[in-house]
Structure 1
Amino acid sequence: MVSSQQQDGVHDLRSALERLRENPGQLIETDRAVDPIAELAGVYRYVGAGGTVVRPTRIGPAMMFNNVTGYPDARVLVGLMASRERVGLLLDAPPRRLTQHMGQAIRDAISPVDVGPEKARCQEVVHRADDPGFDLRKILPAPTNTEKDAGPYFCLGLVLSSDPEGEKGTDVTIHRLCVQGKDEMTIFFAPGRHIDAFRKKAEAQGKPLAVSVNMGLDPAIHIGACFEAPTTPYGYDELAIAGGLRGRPVELVDCLTVGEKCIAAAEVVIEGEILPDVRQAEDQNTHTGHAMPEFPGYDGPANSALPVMKVTAITTRRDPVLQTLVGPGEEHVSLVGIPTEASIYNACDAAMPGFVTEVYAHSAGGGKFLAVIKVKKTSAFDDGRARQAALVALGTYAEVKNIILVDEDVDIFDTDDVLWAMQTRMQGDMDIIIVPGIAGHVLDPSQTPEYDPRLPTKGVTAKTIFDATAPYALRDDFVRAQFREVDPSLWAPELFPDAAGTAGPDAESGDDSPRRASSTRGKSSQHD
């Protein structure tokens, strides 16, 4: 039966939470007091962080903390998208088809629309920075992930800003924001980010850049914002992808204190300006030398000189939910990995229609560094096309570091199956292709001149293609052992409650949820 909520669809964070409450095992809530400084993330590490988080961890439910120490009116949500199954539930798509679903959203993009103040739910409560006693540190419980963090961070702050010269429209991107004082935050830009280009334009004119930081959103907005160039070139408004996912535009309203827009249904909005020619050390208050744990699984180094955002106001819904994530967790994999998959899939399908059938941005790479690509070979010429697909992928998503190519009989979401293909369908001296000296990502600690003196600067790397596909001419020698198709529920109904009448749990009419890598389902890597 389809509930009224499902009929209405997910349109903001609160309707997303209702969707999860209707599906057992997807959301838990606790009223036990929790300290936002290291403790909250420490709890969720065991409950459902997953990803590249230090073991033991697991993929589990989202979690709402209703009693945050020092913040009697605040709630903090973590892990909303920390499983592929849950993302599928929230985006109305089977988990295995999210790649194609996201790819279609780009083609179906709908631009955001401006609405009047009567729809500004994000402005039900207003805190202005010029009010006596204003202190963002006392209003919002920005968490830290670890004891070594440079400071409290807003980890899911969607920054919205516009080209100060009016040429390249509006952009949205998630950036890490470290709280530095009562009305100041530092903002980290990885190289090539479009809002940083806006900032540089404004700074060259000696002007601040107006921004809004939007938190607590429809998950379609967050995940749509994680596409990157060339899929979303400079000047492309990624909010249009969320519109494509939902079939309706994202609604924007005017900020109250700066000349910028914000998302009308956001739980929390921080308004402000990025100041020209002002820099601060990320860890100036703690001197830890560390920023926060980033998606590769390591503590990122604290930056010595970051741009500064001066906060002019905080607006919220009544009883707001502050949304955060665990830096290296599975939520990052979902947020950036599924757009990565869609970008690669669309590019390969445009170049070689129907040849690439599935793409998975693996958890081990944080959704960025490792892609598994499934190809459909029909001739000997396709041996070369498989490697061409890998090159297309590297050209489409600059931060991918390693690509594994597999055949149609391999489950790309099952790490054991992918590793099996690498052991039996690959010879190191024949099937590994290395492309040196390519732009990568500055947060990989191996992409530095200290690690490899041949590298010119941080964020340059060798990229590797692992061709674990069987040669087409030898395809008959690589046929997997075939078992009789049966209905296992006749013998073990408790294990296959939904399999009655099917030919097995992986038949087309069976379970559409991807099986995760063994590293996230084995007892040795879970907390029971």
Structure 2
Amino acid sequence: MVKLNRTKSLTTTKINDLRSALALLEESPGQLLVTDHLVDAQAEIAGIYRYIGAGTPVIPPTRTGPAMMFNNVKGYDLRVLVGMLASRQRTALLLDTTVEQLSFKLLDALNHRIKPITVPSQQASCQEVVHHTPLDIRTLLPAPTNTRLDAGPYFNLGLLRAEDPETGEADVTIHRLCVQGPDLLSVYFVPGRHIDQFRIKAEGNGRPLPVSISMGLDPAIYLGACFEPPTTPLGFDELEIAGGLRKQAVELVDCVSVKAKAIARAEIVIEGEILPNERIQEDIHSQTGYAMPEFPGYLGKAQAQLPIIKIKAVTHRRNPILQTIIGPGEEHTNLAGIPTEASILRLVEQSMPGRLLNVYAHSAGGGKYVAILQFKKSSAKDEGRQRQAALTAFAAFPELKHVILVDEDVDIFDTNDVMWAMTTRYQGDVSTVFIPGVRCHPLDPSQTPNFSPSITQEGVSCKTIFDCTVPYHLKSEFKRAEFLEIDPQLISSLLKQLD
């Protein structure tokens, strides 16, 4: 297996919830921006963060920047946090590793999982304050909208947890949750998601599915939860990966109103049930035709019929923090992309050890559509294996659309360097492999017959390999110009003069 390069601990703060993660950022210059400026949760928070740190593929101008805490939200007495993971540097800091080792860190946690444990309610900070029904979620929590065309306010960093009604196996995933009334949420499941499979089973028996929605979490929990099949098949509890990341079990607590468990150290928990045989139009109140901006950078289409969650209770910490995410941007890329990278590394290493050096799920694809693979050919017999690695990547992550292959001397995290390789080590007619007629992710707007006659139905795509590696027999003709190596301390001191 690929091995994690273990290094001396980079941080001294022990992280086990959102607040300890924020404490680390407060010690780290440039990683957290706090404002007391009065803001409206309706479109304004997202509008501000677009310029501060949302990142690609949010419409320019945007940038990669700090996380941002809004202390003064109009109409509410609680804070809103955005952008916790909207930077690979910050994500690495929060996981006590480096940017280059992020995916290896998750891979190591995947291989050394720790099962969650259940603690009594007295030890669960998420239940310091309890609101039983009747309640109005709209006045209790400031669910944001990202644009004025959103179907409504959304909780879009709510970690759903539910159990298979037949086996008792648990799953956690993040889904878009639209506020539809004082105690109603709609939930959108991409086809095949595991909690949706649990819902289908419960609905088949005419029963509701109890769920918890935990918000404001240790970043390790969010990242661990974003692994997908085939790495995490049905019945796999992704909270075990989060336990492996922190070397300690994630703590759960029994909900106060439904037969479900929630993250004990969450800032906020919504408890409820997915009702059987009841559906709602996602934009029933706005009638805009749109849902919210999704990770590809476009406004998602409102769904005509979505399952409904009936809220039974809300619990939270004292002075809670509502954590949210801008639909597209660097934060989604890191949440979805870093687990994707680990999954690709794992499967390729199993089939051809030692050749795939690293993977980057580029922000242009929202962490799902584009992967850059750094591949090392050590002999003539390795020629062609790079394309096999790309095929394995498609198997490891079915929603992947494009794979870009580069050599070991290309920095996969530097888009300029990748484009250089595509310019000088790529010829379209011999370096491109098309795989048409394969189902991909439903939110790609180019996957329609109107876009290409090769597409027979929406959701089908042409997956593509861009092989920007040098043919092995030509390696000697593609050596990069080498410069004099300089003492790193001298370079560091010179750069400090810019600060």
TM-score bin, normalised by smaller chain: over 0.9
Which residue of the partner structure matches residue 317 of structure 2? 317
Q: Which amino acid aligns with 2:163?
A: S
| Counterpart among 103, 108, 114 of residue 110 in structure 1 | 114
Quick one: distance in 1 between partners of 2:492 and 2:17?
A: 40
Deviation at 1:100, TM superposition (A): 0.7
Q: Partner residue of 2:170?
A: 170
The one of 23, 26, 34 equivalent to 1:29 is 34
Q: Shift in Å at residue 128 of structure 1?
A: 0.9
* CA distance in structure 2 between the aligned counterparts of 1:293 and 1:61, rounded to whole angstroms: 21
Deviations 1:99-138 (A, max 9, x none): 11111110011111111111111011111123xxx20000
**Corresponding residue to 2:75 among 67, 70, 76:** 70
The answer as to 2:87 corresponding to 1:94 is no
Task: Give the TM-score normalised by the residue count of structure 2.
Answer: 0.96
Report the RMSD for the aligned CA atoms in angstroms: 1.5
Question: 2:159 aligned with 1:189, yes or no?
Answer: no
Contact 2:10–2:93, Cα closer than 8 Å, also in 1: no
Q: 2:43 aligns with which of 31, 35, 38?
A: 38
**1:5/1:15 contact within 8 Å kept:** no
In structure 2, do the counterparts of structure 1 residues 433 and 5 end up closer, same or farther at CA, with 3 Å as the change threshold? closer
Amino acid at match of 1:170: A
Aligned to 1:155: 156
Return the alpha-carbon distance in structure 2 between the equivalents of residues 5 and 94 of structure 1.
9
**Partner Cα distance (1:227, 1:448) in 2:** 27
Query: What does residue range 147-296 of structure 1 map to in structure 2 within 5 Å?
Result: 147-166=148-167, 169-296=169-296
CA distance in 2, matches of 1:152, 1:183: 13
The whole-number CA distance in structure 1 between the counterparts of 2:426 and 2:470 is 8
Measured against aligned partners, the alpha-carbon deviations of 1:48-76 in whole angstroms (never above 9, x if no partner) come to 000200000000000000000010x2100
SS of the aligned residue for 1:49 comes to coil
User: What is the letter of the counterpart of residue 119 of structure 2?
Assistant: V
- 1:51·1:331 contact (CA, 8 Å) conserved in 2? no
Give CA deviations for 1:76-112 in whole Å, capped at 9, x if unaligned. Answer: 0000000000000101111110011111110011111
Question: For the Cα contact (< 8 Å) 1:5–1:18, is it kept in 2?
Answer: no
- Structure 1 spans left out of the alignment, 5+ residues: 499-528
Q: Which amino acid aligns with 1:379?
A: S
Q: How many residues align?
A: 490
Equivalence for 2:88: 84
Deviations 1:174-215 (A, max 9, x none): 000000000001000011100000000011111110000000
**Identity value in percent:** 59
- AA aligned opposite 1:106: L
TM-score w.r.t. the length of structure 1 is: 0.91
Task: Provide the rounded CA distance (Å) in 1 between the counterparts of 2:251 and 2:487.
Answer: 48
CA distance in 1: counterparts of 2:491 and 2:176, whole angstroms: 51
Separation in structure 2 between the aligned mates of residue 418 and residue 119 of structure 1, nearest angstrom: 49
Partner of 1:331: 331
Partner of 1:518: none
1:381 Cα offset (Å) = 1.8
Structure 2 gaps of 5+ residues are 1-8
* Secondary structure in 2 matching 1:475: helix
Q: CA-to-partner distance for each residue in 1:274-311, whole Å, 9 max, x for gaps? A: 01111111100110111000000000011111000000
* CA distance in structure 2 between the aligned counterparts of 1:492 and 1:211, rounded to whole angstroms: 51
Name the CA distance, whole Å, in 1 between partners of 2:317 and 2:151.
Answer: 29
State whether residues 107 and 346 of structure 2, in contact with CA within 8 Å, keep that contact through their aligned partners in structure 1: yes
How many angstroms does 1:383 deviate by? 1.5
Which amino acid counterpart does residue 200 of structure 2 have in structure 1?
Answer: K
